[in-house]
Amino acid sequence: MRSETRVVAEHFLNLPLVYRLGTQWIGYVPTVISYALSQGVADLSYFFYKSAVDNVKKNLALVFPDASEIKLSHMTRQLFRNYSKYLVDYGRFTWMKKTDILKQITYFDGREKLQSALQMNRGIILLTAHLGNWELGGIFFESYGLTTNIITAPDENIEIASIRSLYRERFGVKTITIGTSPFSTMQLTRALENKEIVAMLIDRYHEKNHGVSTEFFHKPTTFPRGPFILSRLTGAVIIVAFVIRERDGYRGIIEGPFEVTDEKDEHVILRKVINILEKHIIMYPDQWYNFVPI
C-alpha cells in the first residue's frame, strides 16, 4: 500500500491540481469534449510516464505470457486512455445526483449473489482490485441501504486524500484509514457488527510481514490476510465485486458470498478470491489500473 501511494502521487494525472480542476470544472465541459481531451492527455502520459508504462507491461505480460511486444504496447496504451476516462468520470460524478450516477450502471451480473449475502444478515467484506471504476461501488451499495466503509492506507499527499474522502462523504461512503490509529481495527469490527460493508482493494499489497503469499498469474504475490481473519472472527461474509466500463455505461459484477469458519478456510477462500480476480483481469486487461509491479 505504501508503494501505491508513492507512485500514484508522482503521476501528473494524480496531482492535487488535476483533481481540483477535474472535480470543480469538468461539469462545465460537455462529456464528449472532456472524453476527447482525456485521450490526448492519456497519450502524453503514455509517452512521458515510462516507469508506469513499463510496470503495466510487466503486469500484463504475466496475464498474457504469449503476447507480443506490440500487443502489450497496444493494451497498455488503451489502458492509459481508459484510465483518463475514469478520471473524467470521477470529476463528472461529483456534479451528478446519486440517482443519475446509478443509471450509469446499465448491467448487473450477480444480483442473486448479492441477495444471498444480504439474506445472511451479517456484515459484508467486499474485496476488489484496481479494475474499472471501484469508486462507483460504494455509491451503488448505498442504494441498497448499505453503508460502505472504504479501507485505505495513509496517502502521502494529504490534499488528494482529502479530496477523495470528501467525494465519498458526499455519497454517504465512509473512509477508514488504517495504520494511523490503534483504533482503526476497532472501527472495522464495529462496522461489520453493524452489518455494514467494509471494502478493500487487495491487488496492490506490499506488507509482506503481515500478508500471505500465493500464486497470482503464476507469480508468488503477497495479499492481505486481514479480511479473512475478520471474516472468521466476526462472521462477516466475503464478496468480490467490480464495476467495469462497458460501451457507454458500466457493468456491476458480484461473486460469492464466501464464509471463513476456521483458519483452514482462510487460504481456501483467498484462493477462490484470487481466481476471481484473475478471471476478470483477463476479461478486462485494459481496465486494470495497476501502475506498480505485482
Digit-coded pLDDT (tens) for 228-262: 999 999 999 999 999 999 988 999 999 999 999 99
DSSP string, the chain: -HHHHHHHHHSGGGSHHHHHHHHHHGGGS-HHHHHHHHHHHHHHHHHH-HHHHHHHHHHHHHH-TT--HHHHHHHHHHHHHHHHHHHHHHHHHHHS-HHHHHTTEEEEE-HHHHHHHHHTTS-EEEEE-SBB-THHHHHHHHTTT--EEEEEPPPS-HHHHHHHHHHHHHTT-EEEETTS-TTHHHHHHHHHHTT-EEEEE-SS---GGGEEEEEETTEEEEEESHHHHHHHHH--EEEEEEEEEETTEEEEEEEEEE---SHHHHHHHHHHHHHHHHHHHHHSGGGB---S--
How confident is the model over 181-205, as pLDDT tens digits?
566 788 899 999 999 999 999 998 8
Whether the predicted pLDDT of 168 surpasses 50: yes
The pLDDT, as a whole number, for residue 228 is 96
Specify the pTM.
0.89
| Mean pLDDT, the chain, whole residue set | 87
Reported as a single tens digit per residue, the pLDDT across 2-38 is: 333 344 434 556 666 666 666 667 777 888 998 998 8
pLDDT at position 17 is 62
For residue 122, is pLDDT > 50? yes
Answer yes or no: is pLDDT of 224 > 80: yes
More confident residue, 141 or 72: 72
Q: Is a pLDDT exceeding 70 seen at residue 284?
A: yes
| % residues pLDDT > 90 (the chain) | 58
Mean pLDDT of 154-165: 66
pLDDT of residue 181: 58
